[in-house]
A and B are shown apart, each in its own frame.
Chain A
Amino acid sequence: MTTRDPDPDPGTAAAPVARLVEVTRLHGDGAGAVHALKGVSLDVAAGELVAVMGPSGSGKSTLLNLAGGLDRPSSGHIQVEGVELGGLSAAGLAALRRRNVGYVFQDLNLIPSLTAAENVMLPRELDGVRTARAREEARAVLGEVGAGDLADRFPDEMSGGQRQRVAIARALVGERRLLLADEPTGAVDTLVGDEILRLLRAKADAGAAVLVVTHEPRYAAWADRVVFLKDGEIVDSAAAGLVSAR
């Protein structure tokens, strides 16, 4: 297992937004223990979109959950914005997640009884932001993802692609720089799927660090770097040729 993530630009010594070093995750213990991840190292820098590809059971979702502090590794180190997650209490970890990490899950988890704007506002309000400001932020970020006209709609009044946009807006609201997406294209058609990746790409180009897990090559292809995960190990990675040309 080697680290295939040399600093792309040694001139800027900025720490990556997310860093995994020799991360191992075991499920169960003793002889029946299963290695979900076996010593994975991966950096995601600001401005970078990284895709993780692999068959089901390869450890993709485990990797994403660990990077976002939703799960803890059996060994190895994980840093988000330079903070070592292993050193944080449960409450500290929760606070870091809310402040720094946005998630888009396959089953969007939008709350059906809240409008799009209210769904987007929720994490900010939980963070103590006043309602009026949270609403303003929600409108702005919904506009950013092309869902400004959906603000007052409820999830069941939206198409799959529209719900996806709202979920992405919720992931982006606030100052978060790390965006994690687990199969964000779900079951949408390729046109909507491309739009979703275009949005994530735009966020990366605007300075976010984006880590996307997908089993679909066409979506992985939007990334600067595609990491192939197999049986809990990174087996190869493909980097796009001209990173500076975007």
Chain B
Amino acid sequence: MTIRHGLLALLTQGPRYGYQLRAEFEASTGATWPLNIGQVYTTLSRMERDGLVAPGEQDEQGRMVYAITEKGRAELDRWFATPVAQADRPRDELVIKLAMAITAPGVDVARVVQAQRSATMRTLQELTRAKRGAGAAQRLVLDSMIFQAEAEQRWLAHCEAVLAASPKEGM
């Protein structure tokens, strides 16, 4: 997850203080990726080093306002124009767990699958609840997570069907 591009995008609306960027970032993403203020300032100072943002005046409390530079805009345009690669996902614990449940003797695989289905469904319920009353940006972020949870549900239902058709011994 690229915090720097998120901050650059927010800065296209005008110069911002670090604390404002943090609040606006969390508002846009439905607080899905909470940022701590330290991350925000570290990112800003690296972007300043790279010429993507420029600091402005300091206020009386020593807080600095940041503005996006031409180079920053170009970097942001490049980011928006570049599709995100299907990243190498870290090893998925659930997939490994199911593979092992089938391999290891004496494990009730159907129970493992059902426990996961119920847990993922609770997550889906929470995401759906959060979606009521969410703004457009938040809603799309939540929708993305809903689609992912849904994919897991579908996969688990598929596992169940496959296991029912060919019991553990035969696999």
B-contacting residues of A (Cβ < 8 Å)?
A: 53, 55, 198, 201, 216-218, 220-223, 226, 228, 230, 235-242, 245-246
Please determine whether A236 and B117 come into contact, CB atoms closer than 8 angstroms: yes
Could you give, for residues 96-125 of chain B, a 1 whenever the CB lies within 8 Å of some chain A CB and a 0 otherwise? 000000000000000000110111111011
Please determine whether A217 and B122 come into contact, CB atoms closer than 8 angstroms: no
Please determine whether A223 and B125 come into contact, CB atoms closer than 8 angstroms: yes
A-contacting residues of B (Cβ < 8 Å)?
A: 114-115, 117-122, 124-129, 132, 146-147, 149-150, 153-154, 157, 160-161
B71 CB, nearest partner CB in chain A, Å: 38
Please determine whether B117 and A221 come into contact, CB atoms closer than 8 angstroms: no
Contact of A240 among B114, B119, B126, B160 (CB under 8 A): B126
Please determine whether B114 and A246 come into contact, CB atoms closer than 8 angstroms: no
Please determine whether B118 and A218 come into contact, CB atoms closer than 8 angstroms: no
Please determine whether A217 and B114 come into contact, CB atoms closer than 8 angstroms: no
7 A-B pairs whose Cβ atoms sit less than 8 Å apart in the complex: A198-B132, A201-B132, A216-B150, A221-B128, A226-B125, A238-B122, A238-B125
List B contacts of A222 (CB < 8 A).
Answer: 125, 128
**Distance in angstroms between the alpha carbons of A11 and B101 in the assembled complex:** 43
A176 CB, nearest partner CB in chain B, Å: 24
Given contacts A55-B157, A217-B150, contact A236 B127 (CB under 8 A): no
List A contacts of B119 (CB < 8 A).
Answer: 238
List B contacts of A220 (CB < 8 A).
Answer: 121, 124
List B contacts of A217 (CB < 8 A).
Answer: 120-121, 124, 149-150, 153-154
Contact of B114 among A201, A218, A226, A236 (CB under 8 A): A236
Report the nearest B residue to A235, measured CB to CB. B114
Report the nearest B residue to A205, measured CB to CB. B132
B46 CB, nearest partner CB in chain A, Å: 39
Please determine whether B124 and A221 come into contact, CB atoms closer than 8 angstroms: yes
Please determine whether A218 and B146 come into contact, CB atoms closer than 8 angstroms: yes
Please determine whether B122 and A240 come into contact, CB atoms closer than 8 angstroms: yes
Contact of B118 among A55, A221, A238, A241 (CB under 8 A): A238
**Distance in angstroms between the alpha carbons of A217 and B126 in the assembled complex:** 13
**Distance in angstroms between the alpha carbons of A55 and B158 in the assembled complex:** 10
Given contacts A221-B146, A222-B128, A246-B129, contact A241 B161 (CB under 8 A): no
Please determine whether B122 and A241 come into contact, CB atoms closer than 8 angstroms: yes
List B contacts of A226 (CB < 8 A).
Answer: 118, 121, 125
List B contacts of A237 (CB < 8 A).
Answer: 118
List A contacts of B115 (CB < 8 A).
Answer: 236
**Distance in angstroms between the alpha carbons of A214 and B160 in the assembled complex:** 17
List A contacts of B114 (CB < 8 A).
Answer: 228, 235-236
A49 CB, nearest partner CB in chain B, Å: 10
List A contacts of B121 (CB < 8 A).
Answer: 53, 217, 220-221, 226, 238
List A contacts of B150 (CB < 8 A).
Answer: 216-218
Please determine whether B118 and A236 come into contact, CB atoms closer than 8 angstroms: yes
**Distance in angstroms between the alpha carbons of A237 and B125 in the assembled complex:** 12
List A contacts of B128 (CB < 8 A).
Answer: 218, 221-222
Report the nearest B residue to A201, measured CB to CB. B132
List A contacts of B132 (CB < 8 A).
Answer: 198, 201, 246
A188 CB, nearest partner CB in chain B, Å: 16
**Distance in angstroms between the alpha carbons of A245 and B122 in the assembled complex:** 15
B152 CB, nearest partner CB in chain A, Å: 9
A37 CB, nearest partner CB in chain B, Å: 18
**Distance in angstroms between the alpha carbons of A246 and B124 in the assembled complex:** 15
> Known contacts A217-B124, A217-B149, A221-B127; can you find 7 more A-B pairs with CB under 8 A?
A217-B154, A218-B147, A221-B124, A222-B128, A236-B114, A241-B126, A242-B129
